[in-house]
Structure 1
Amino acid sequence: MYARKEYVILATIREKFREEIEYFEFSIDSFRRWINSQYGFKWKKSNNRKYLMDLPNIVHKRINFLREYIKNRNVGPEGFTSVFIDETWIFSKGSFRSSWQDDTKHTDSRKNSEGHRYIVVHAGTKDGFIKGANLIFKSGLKTGDYHDNMNRKNFENWFKTQLVPNLPPKSFIIMNNASYHSGLLEEIPRKSWTKQRLTEWLKKKNIGFLEKAMIDEIWSIARRHRPSEKK
């Protein structure tokens, strides 16, 4: 059933049995106990991450990363210190996700506010967190040099002012591919751009065009001169 991309629940499994066995009359409760005891299946939340991590292309990328990681870590006679960086968030108030209910309005209450959301950024090695590299700021508000949510500007500011000055000697940094960990040095023109935006890009590049040209003509010129690769 999983191989055929079917949704697997007790009712659908029981229907499969009924199609093959004429007098199959297991109750749902008996069926559940039988599947739990005989085959080790449990009713739980689907783990999409586990499925993704087992895809061949993801496995290949993970192997390549580990090879690069080991090669860089062992550069030189003493090797380099691996520094891992990451970001997360936390609410000032926690809340329970589940409760016992009887499907009436008396037991189904509105979820309480979880409070302010805070962004947390840090870096660490096998010896622990790097002193002075911690950053916590309130999401949605300007806090010192940081504001709103984590973005490229905030990340770059933290990287230059807090991480790099506090790195151990001979370090190399490992980070994931979050959108704010990189950014285009220059935007590449797209067909969806307005005529004004396209003409501004052409002028910046000193590329000639007729001011009264239609947008399709402007786009044709920009497309011929735009870079083939992102930087």
Structure 2
Amino acid sequence: MKTQCSYHQSIEIKEDRKKLRFRVDHKFVELQKNIVRKTVHDFFREGVLPTLDKLMERIKANDEIPLIGHTTLHTLLKKKYITYVKHKRNSYLPERDDLLAWRRQYLEDIRKYRAEGRNIYFLDETWVNAGDVTVKAWHDETIKSGRDDYIRGLTTEPANPSGKGKKLIVLHLGSAEGFVEGGFLSFVSKKNSSEYHDEMNGDTFREWFEAFLGKLHDNCVIVMDNASYHSVREEKVPSSSWKKNDIQNWLHVKGYEFRDTMIKGQLLSIVKEVRAKHDKCAIDTLAESHGKIVLRLPSYHCELNPIEMVWSMVKGYVTSNNSTFKMSDVLQLLRQGIERVTAENWRKFC
């Protein structure tokens, strides 16, 4: 009996551990990931080599970032293109060279497009919870209890909701001229996840994207991030996970020469040389067919997208006016918040 009990206890412990596991993408929102990356750069500006321990101390002192352990932080850093290298006798955390080059290229491209006078549209998703309310409000410290306020003819502050409630996923785009008319899309989340990107899929995004392309200026630029549903490929290109026969068939269909005696690694080398011709995003091709250009933000660089500040303005309006915590009312507030953002606001943010 003791053995059986201990066996069942071990099963329960394993199940509990499974429940505690989470993805880093679910623990952090995009802005929080960006804060971590910028914190690394703060050390460099201070002339200090950032280490995992130093970074952990600073993150713990930041109220905008949830409490995490060293292992989660290490995983997050790798997702942020930050590596751990030796510098003479010291080890520190630098950004990967490919991300530095990507950011530099993006900045050069957008400056060129602006100099050419092209219209630039910025696209992004966000979310609003039914229970979102403003964090701070004026409070009468002289009121000591509910009876006290009743006797004095005063009131106590309204009670906040016990939870966040349902989540509303929102998608829109705009430019220095303001939000694009007809570009608003919203739907209620069906997943219990803090990562709103999990709710969208490639088909839904493509249908929405194609609906307003004709309303945009000719020869314009559309800026978006690298979410998976933004980057659905037109066709699958062989990778190391493919079987050798499948790689050979793909090369044969595409008309590329290879020898039957070649090993898998040699076949992948041929694929690598021609990948750029076939590894295209369906959204990019769709935009090109309408005379538009898609410009991709560097990974984890949401601060380069001015619509983030627009969303902050909109969500600030929602949280400061949310009193019923009903999804229908929150949607109405969201529409009102979007209408309040003027072209002048957009120009300043851009």
More helix by share: 2
Structure 1 residues 201 and 94, CA, compared in 2 at 3 Å: closer, same or farther? farther
Q: Please state how far the C-alpha of 1:193 moved relative to its aligned partner.
A: 5.0
Corresponding residue number in structure 2 for 1:117: 167
Q: Indicate the larger mover: 43-52 or 123-132.
A: 43-52
Question: 1:179 aligned to 210, 220, 228, which one?
Answer: 228
- 1:179 is displaced (CA, Å) by 2.0
Distance 2:115 2:105 in 1: 16
1:152 aligns with 2:196: no
Matched residue SS, 2:106: helix
- Give the superposition deviation at 1:44: 2.6
| 1:45-124 matched pairs, under 5 angstroms | 45=63, 55=95, 57=97, 58-75=99-116, 79-94=117-132, 112-124=162-174
Query: What residue in structure 1 maps to residue 154 of structure 2?
Result: none
Tell me which residue corresponds to 2:188: 138
Contact persistence 2:240–2:268 (CA under 8 A): no
Deviations 1:114-140 (A, max 9, x none): 222222111111121111111111223
How many equivalent residue pairs?
A: 165
Asked if 2 retains the 8 angstrom alpha-carbon contact of 1:189 and 1:226, the reply is no
Decide whether the 8 Å contact of 1:92 with 1:114 is kept in 2.
yes
The alignment partner of 1:131 has SS state of coil
Alpha-carbon distance in 1 for matches of 2:221, 2:270? 34
Q: Give how far 1:70 is off.
A: 1.7
Q: In structure 2, do the counterparts of structure 1 residues 221 and 206 end up closer, same or farther at CA, with 3 Å as the change threshold?
A: farther
SS at match of 1:7: helix
Q: Is the 8 A contact 1:121 1:136 kept in 2?
A: yes
Tell me, yes or no, if structure 1 residue 126 matches structure 2 residue 176: yes
Q: In the alignment, what sits opposite 2:271? A: 227
Identify if the C-alpha distance between structure 1 residues 63 and 115 changes in structure 2 by more than 3 Å, giving closer, same or farther: same
Q: Is the CA contact 2:81–2:96 (under 8 Å) kept in the aligned structure 1?
A: no
Give 1:56 shift.
7.3
Taking structure 2 as the reference length, the TM-score comes to 0.36
- The structure, 1 or 2, with the larger RCO (C-alpha pairs under 8 Å, 6+ apart) is 2
Match of 1:167 in 2: 216
Secondary structure of the corresponding residue to residue 89 of structure 1: strand
Structure 2, unmatched stretches of 5+, are 1-42, 66-75, 83-93, 136-160, 192-197, 255-260, 280-350
- 1:44 equivalent to 2:62? Answer yes
Distance 1:221 1:3, change over 3 A: closer
Structure 1 length as normaliser, TM-score?
0.52
Q: Is 1:3–2:21 an aligned residue pair?
A: no
Contact 2:190 2:199 in 1 (8 A): yes
- Where does structure 1 differ by over 6 angstroms across 4 or more consecutive aligned residues? 46-52
> Is contact 2:238-2:247 (8 Å) kept?
no
Indicate the SS of the match to 2:200: coil
Distance (whole Å) between structure 2 residues aligned to residue 51 and residue 194 of structure 1: 29
How many angstroms apart in 1 are the aligned matches of 2:105 and 2:269? 35
What is the CA–CA distance in structure 2 between the aligned matches of 1:206 and 1:91, rounded to whole Å?
49
**Unmatched tracts of structure 1, length 5 or more:** 13-41, 98-110, 142-147, 208-216
Equivalent position of 1:210 in the other structure? none
1:78-107 per-position Cα deviation (integer Å, ceiling 9, x unaligned): x2111111111222222799xxxxxxxxxx
Question: Equivalent residue of 1:136, what SS?
Answer: strand
Identity rate, percent: 27
Deviations 1:19-60 (A, max 9, x none): xxxxxxxxxxxxxxxxxxxxxxx94348789997x8474454
Q: Distance in 2 between matches of 1:8 and 1:190?
A: 38
Q: 1:119 to 1:55 in 2, by over 3 A?
A: same
C-alpha contact (below 8 Å) 1:118/1:136 kept by paired residues: yes
